[in-house]
Amino acid sequence: MATNTPTHIIYLALPTKAQKPDGKSKANWRRIGAVWTNKSLGSSITWDFTPVPTSPGRTVILSYAERKPEVEEK
């Protein structure tokens, strides 16, 4: 069943030079797309921004309910 709410949000997590108190590296997260359930019970991806394959970051997909509210969403 298709809905107007995505099931998942896609983020690009880019590494920074800053570190967390536990010594792990921080990352800047940016929303770059969403995943939607379609009528055929599959999924469709809508991209707001397509990451370059050579970028140093990683693509992360979180369920809509678990999305990061503090992420920059343009």
| pLDDT, tens only, 6-47 | 999 999 888 887 777 777 778 888 899 999 988 888 999 999
Question: Is this model's pTM higher than 0.75 or not?
Answer: no
Can you give the pLDDT at residue 72?
54
**Where are the chain's structural domains?**
8-64
Can you give the pLDDT at residue 74?
47
* Distance, CA of 71 to CA of 67 (rounded, Å): 9
Residue 8, beta-bridge partner list: 35, 63
Type and span of the H or E element at 8: strand 8-19
pLDDT at 48 over 70: yes
* Distance, CA of 51 to CA of 19 (rounded, Å): 24
Can you give the pLDDT at residue 67?
65
Higher pLDDT, 74 or 70: 70
* Distance, CA of 67 to CA of 19 (rounded, Å): 22
